[in-house]
Structure 1
Amino acid sequence: MIKSGFLLSLFIFIGTIYADAQINYGTTGLMNMPTADMQRDKTFMAGGNWLNHHATVPRWWYDTWNYYINITIFPWLEAGYLCMGHKAVPTDYGNRSGYWVPSTYGKFINQDRSFHFRLRVWKEGWWKEWTPQIVLGANDVIGDSWNGGSLSKPSELNYGNGFLNRYYLAITKHFYFENVGTLGAHLSWIYSNRFDNKLNNPAMGANFRFHLKDSDSWVHKAINGVNLMAEVVPGYTDVKEDLTFDPDGAKYQVNLGMEYSFWKDYINAIVELNRCKYFSGGLVFKIHLK
């Protein structure tokens, strides 16, 4: 834990004009933590990721994948659609009733689909130069998610919807260092009413995107594509293959990551080290329609 805290401090005090794509949700943010950053107006994103099971919500006790589309409809409104791979499991897992054909056990045969929204309610610097940006957001908001989705009652294990459900308030402030880069400081409050992943907790993080002085040096050009990220977020409960959940609530974890932008931010590669050791990664493609 001391080592993780040191690494986080290093990230905070050591490059954001471009906003980052959240690896788990296909929306703007760090890795698992939402931020108040917004994409450029009329930005269309499409991406996909391979996810270590430690980086996902409790339902996925196995490594999986996702893909998504996302558009910033107005400078203050972002909407996304995400699909995440499901494996078929034996019907006796967790004493749940199931319908998978035995020959499909352990194979990806279905997808979870979810909608995600973000609304900017206050723009950075609107009143005073020091005022931060504020965003309200919701992940996986269809299917009675406010009441915990289909998993709100453990006695009714109907794995139908709301797996990624959460609501949040995010605050972001940027600090610019001439010819060096941009530091983004982020704070959010995350809420979820799901019985397997109850949240009512704060999260904090930072990212640093390099903007070294223009020169003919290929080293400068290479470094200017780097965006470093770190976050402290409510941890996802470890889940055994019998689908039993730890009822004690969220535990905090430290995640580190990096995004690298190619071709003027049109192509972005993202990697995450969940809990500083479990690797996930993917690609994001951006098109600016305006």
Structure 2
Amino acid sequence: MALITLSASLTAHAQSQSDYGGVGLMQMPTARMQPQGTLSLTYADNDAFRRMSVNLQVFPWLEATARYTDIRYEKYSLDPNFSSQSLKDKGVDVKLRLLQETQWRPEIALGWRDMGGTGLFAGEYLVASKQFALGDHNNWGHLDITGGIGWGYLAQRGNINNPLCHVADRFCQRTDTTKGTGGQFEIDDWFSGKTAVFIGLEYQTPHAPLSLQLEYDGNDYTNERFENPIDSTLTKPPVKADSPWNWGAKYAVRENLTLGLSYQRGNTLMFNISVKADLSHNPMPQQSPKPRAYHVPDDKHQQTIGTDKANELSLLSERLQNEVGVELNAVQQNQHRLTLFHNDHSDFRSHQERIERSTRILANIAPNEIKSYEWVSVNHGMAVRTDTVNADEFKATLLGERFNQPLSRTVKSHNSSDAIQQGEWLWRKQQAFPNWDLDVAPRLKQSIGSAEKLYFYQLSVNPALTFNLTPRWQFKSEWGINIVNNYDEFNYFVDAYESDLPRVRTEVRKYYDAQDIWVERLYSRYTAKLTQNWYGAAYAGYLERMFAGVGVSVLNRDFASDFAWGVDINRVQQRSPDSALGLADYRVWTGHITAYYQPSRFPNELFKLAVGRFLAGDEGAQLSYEHKFDSGTIVGAYAAVTNVSSQEYGEGSFTKGVYISIPFDLFSVKPSQSRAAVGWQPISRDGGQMLGRPVSLYGMTDSRNPFYNEQ
């Protein structure tokens, strides 16, 4: 009987979160990864430190973590008028899987902690993990053994010499200081200085929710920050290690909720809680209407359709709206072709499902003499794509005459033209212009990591009134009504950091505090399809909370192309925070040339590069990256680097941030194209800031090569 067996697969609860938020043991990391799309929120607490982290498994081989550490024994500032809270440190971690585990080979990963923050907890590591099944038929559980080598904060114990010293002398010393104003990648320090070996094991007990952990810590905690102690009687940091061994237990209360308790450094109890969500799959069963069945019409019914087209097409419009959420605008017939113009929006994120459901409805109404259905998608008066359906093939497929051929094989998608086809207009929707639409939505604006308080917020309700003068020309007014906020707890409106840059964003506190009712936006915009692959927009008014002005943008986007590019030019003036419609003195020309790349080989990835002038007059580029999971959830990151030096920019060195966009139907049983977005920008300074333009031509033409919705 084999008592120990090599294993290459992990059990359901083996990938626990460390106190730092990434997959690991307690203080030390492992080489393990979560399933792709797993989002984890972790809170870890002991006497000296409190850590709050967000961890995301972006790819099977890439893990990213953002974290705030509350250093409870340190003051944020010695000036109580500036800040009275304890020190909060921001950090970003990344872990890359180099080799995947096999029966004989361990999983190996390379990682960085606190790689883009202040460097207080910065460190690098190379780690390997191997799992063993215990007992006959694994009835004794699993044992996951980890061993690694660390640098920086993970290696203050310094129990081995740095092997990279034999490669180059620069690896022998580490500065352990932060360049400039922080926020940069301290590449010169990576894998240098003190080095330590760490080991650990995790025993997954036969009782599946419970796992036990033991680790040898590579950090001896002799180099902790100690500059502004809250307790003036302290002469050294209240963090010491009486033992290098940490031990603890994790218990999975539910599949997405894990509690942890550990005893660390030989003197400290640590508690943590981790909540997980799967962004790769939609957990809600969708309760959409069953697709309409196709019934072969008899001769009598076919004749009725031919003599009463207007009523039948009105019925078609009603069914499309009720069953698919498609708004039909007009129908035209040219011999054996039926062309249907409809708004580029529906209840379904999948464009293919929209077309198939709509065609099922149409096939029950259109006469047999029609051999081709053309669905023309129109967004704000601009035709963005055409889907042509072979009517006979579609019907035969529905009747099972094509040996399980998918309906998608009967549909061909191609470019659209605004030119009116030659033919007879059978029906047009009675659209009276101008018309109007009222929408009311909640808004949450937040600031994390400020000097006075960790979290500032403003919850408002924003009614928006839109007047449509024509399908292409709109007037929109959006107001904000404050419900609750804590921005009155600011100690100052503008920080004391001296910079030559205009205050285009750092005066944001004034805007949040000055008014309980404000004009968020008040503008007019006009959109048009200029040629076959060119789209344009013009806009003027109060474009965002902090700027008003005029602008134009154009976009070149070939149908189903990986590439697109556009240009926007804007002349804007800063708004006054003290009045609803007042303006300040600052004016600037701002605009960018933006390239978009959505590789057909990797359709769930989108890259954007915008080069031009930013709001503060600085010039440079912003690079953005977005990844879409199978559930439709999108995560993105961006960074802007301009001709402003890190010293002139201020804390953070350059503008950067992350965001997540979640489809509403992940929380509802009904399908929807609507989304909610949340962003995090560690430091909001004035350099590298872009105008919040009220129109995105790339988003409006998404159907030409769907990313934000589905193909």
Q: What is the TM-score normalised by the length of structure 2?
A: 0.29
Instruction: Confirm or deny: 8 A CA contact 1:203 1:233 kept in the other structure.
Output: yes
The alpha carbon displacement at 1:244 in A equals 7.3
Letter in 1 for 2:80: V
Q: Percent identity?
A: 23
In the alignment, what sits opposite 2:126? Answer: 169
Instruction: Write out per-residue CA displacement over residues 63-100 of structure 1, whole angstroms, 9 at most, x where no aligned residue.
Output: 23111111000110000100011458579xxxxxx543
In the alignment, what sits opposite 2:363? Answer: none
In the alignment, what sits opposite 2:546? Answer: none
Change (3 A) 1:21 1:101: same
**d(CA) in 2 for partners of 1:99, 1:260:** 41
Q: Does 1:121 align with 2:98?
A: yes
Change (3 A) 1:87 1:51: closer
Letter in 2 for 1:258: A
Change (3 A) 1:287 1:205: same
**d(CA) in 1 for partners of 2:15, 2:30:** 9
Question: 1:1-290 to 2 correspondence within 5 Å?
Answer: 16-17=10-11, 18-23=14-19, 25-52=20-47, 63-87=48-72, 99-101=78-80, 107-108=85-86, 110-125=87-102, 129-143=103-117, 161-177=118-134, 178-192=138-152, 193=174, 195=176, 199-210=194-205, 212=206, 223-234=207-218, 235-237=220-222, 241-242=234-235, 253-264=244-255, 266-290=256-280
The alpha carbon displacement at 1:245 in A equals 11
SS at match of 1:162: coil
SS at match of 2:244: strand
- Listed as ranges, the gaps of 5+ residues in structure 2 are 1-9, 153-173, 178-192, 227-233, 281-711
**d(CA) in 1 for partners of 2:92, 2:43:** 16
**d(CA) in 1 for partners of 2:73, 2:237:** 17
The alpha carbon displacement at 1:277 in A equals 3.9
Letter in 2 for 1:43: T
**Which has the higher relative contact order, 1 or 2, with Cα contacts under 8 A spaced 6 or more apart?**
1
SS at match of 1:117: strand
Instruction: Write out per-residue CA displacement over residues 110-167 of structure 1, whole angstroms, 9 at most, x where no aligned residue.
Output: 4211000000010001xxx211000000000015xxxxxxxxxxxxxxxxx1111000
The runs of at least 4 consecutive aligned structure 1 residues that moved more than 2 Å come to: 86-91, 102-105, 193-196, 238-246
SS at match of 2:273: strand
The alpha carbon displacement at 1:236 in A equals 1.6
**d(CA) in 1 for partners of 2:245, 2:111:** 22
SS at match of 2:222: coil
Instruction: Confirm or deny: 8 A CA contact 1:232 1:252 kept in the other structure.
Output: no
**d(CA) in 2 for partners of 1:48, 1:237:** 24
Letter in 2 for 1:205: G
SS at match of 1:141: coil
The alpha carbon displacement at 1:207 in A equals 0.6
SS at match of 2:119: coil
The alpha carbon displacement at 1:174 in A equals 0.3
**d(CA) in 1 for partners of 2:203, 2:72:** 37
SS at match of 1:67: strand
**d(CA) in 1 for partners of 2:75, 2:90:** 22
**d(CA) in 1 for partners of 2:131, 2:89:** 35
- Listed as ranges, the gaps of 5+ residues in structure 1 are 1-15, 53-62, 92-97, 144-160, 213-222
Q: What is the TM-score normalised by the length of structure 1?
A: 0.68
Instruction: Confirm or deny: 8 A CA contact 1:270 1:282 kept in the other structure.
Output: yes
Letter in 1 for 2:17: A
Q: How large is the RMSD of aligned CA atoms in angstroms?
A: 2.8
Change (3 A) 1:89 1:137: closer
**d(CA) in 2 for partners of 1:82, 1:64:** 12
SS at match of 1:68: strand
